[in-house]
Chains A and B, each alone.
Chain A
Amino acid sequence: MTCLCKFVPDEVLARLANDTSIKNFDRDALQRTLAVDQEMRRVREATASLIASSAMISMSLVPATKKPLIKLYDCKHGAILPGAKIASPQSSSDGTVKRTFKNTTDVAKFYKKEFGRNSLDGQGMDLLSSVHYGQNYNNAFWNGQQMTYGDGDNNIFIDFTKGNDVVAHELTHGLTQFTSQLAYANEPGGLNESMSDVFGSMFRQWQANQTVDKADWLIGSDIMGPAAKAKGFTCLRDMANPAAKHALAPQPSHYSKYSPGMDPHVSSGIPNNAFYRAATAIGGKSWQKAGKVWFQALTGFGPAPQLTMKQFADRTRTVATQLFAAQPAVASAIDKAWVAVGL
Chain B
Amino acid sequence: MARRPDDKRIKIEKLGGFAGFGSSAHLRSEGEVELEKLPEPDRDKVAKLLDRDAKDHPSSLSQFVYRLTWEEDGKARSVDVGEDELPASVVAAVKDTLI
- Are the C-beta atoms of A249 and B26 separated by less than 8 Å? yes
Tell yes or no: B89 within 8 A of A by CB.
Answer: no
- Are the C-beta atoms of B18 and A169 separated by less than 8 Å? yes
Given contacts A263-B16, A265-B16, A248 and B27 within 8 Å (CB-CB): yes
Tell yes or no: A160 within 8 A of B by CB.
Answer: yes
- Main SS of chain A's interface residues? loop
Tell yes or no: B63 within 8 A of A by CB.
Answer: yes
- Are the C-beta atoms of A141 and B27 separated by less than 8 Å? no
- Are the C-beta atoms of B23 and A249 separated by less than 8 Å? yes
B63 surroundings in chain A (CB, below 8 A): 139, 141, 143
- Are the C-beta atoms of A228 and B98 separated by less than 8 Å? yes
Bound CA–CA A2/B48 (angstroms): 28
Residue of B nearest to A262 (CB): B23
- Are the C-beta atoms of B25 and A140 separated by less than 8 Å? no
A136 surroundings in chain B (CB, below 8 A): 96
Tell yes or no: A79 within 8 A of B by CB.
Answer: yes
- Are the C-beta atoms of A227 and B98 separated by less than 8 Å? yes
- Are the C-beta atoms of A139 and B64 separated by less than 8 Å? yes
B26 surroundings in chain A (CB, below 8 A): 231, 233, 248-249
The tally of residues in A whose CB lies under 8 Å from a CB in B reads 36
Count of CB-CB pairs between chains A and B under 8 Å = 89
Given contacts A153-B96, A228-B98, A231-B98, A166 and B23 within 8 Å (CB-CB): no
B91 surroundings in chain A (CB, below 8 A): 79
Given contacts A139-B64, A143-B61, A250 and B24 within 8 Å (CB-CB): yes
B20 surroundings in chain A (CB, below 8 A): 236, 249, 263, 265-266
Tell yes or no: B88 within 8 A of A by CB.
Answer: yes
- Are the C-beta atoms of A141 and B18 separated by less than 8 Å? yes
Bound CA–CA A135/B60 (angstroms): 20
Interface residues of B in 51-97 (CB under 8 A from A): 57, 59-64, 84, 88, 91-92, 96-97
- Are the C-beta atoms of A249 and B17 separated by less than 8 Å? no
Encode contact with B along A118-159: 1 for CB under 8 Å, 0 otherwise. Answer: 000000000000000001101111111000000001011100
Interface residues of A in 159-200 (CB under 8 A from B): 160, 166, 169-170, 173, 177, 184-185, 192
Please provide the 4 A-B residue pairs with the shortest distance between their CB atoms, ordered closest to farther.
Answer: A265-B20, A249-B25, A141-B62, A263-B23
Further pairs besides A265-B23, A265-B25: 8, Cβ < 8 Å: A79-B88, A156-B27, A156-B98, A177-B61, A231-B98, A236-B20, A263-B16, A263-B22
Please list the residues of chain A having a beta carbon within 8 angstroms of any beta carbon in chain B: 79, 135-136, 138-144, 153, 155-157, 160, 166, 169-170, 173, 177, 184-185, 192, 220, 227-228, 231, 233, 236, 248-251, 263, 265-266
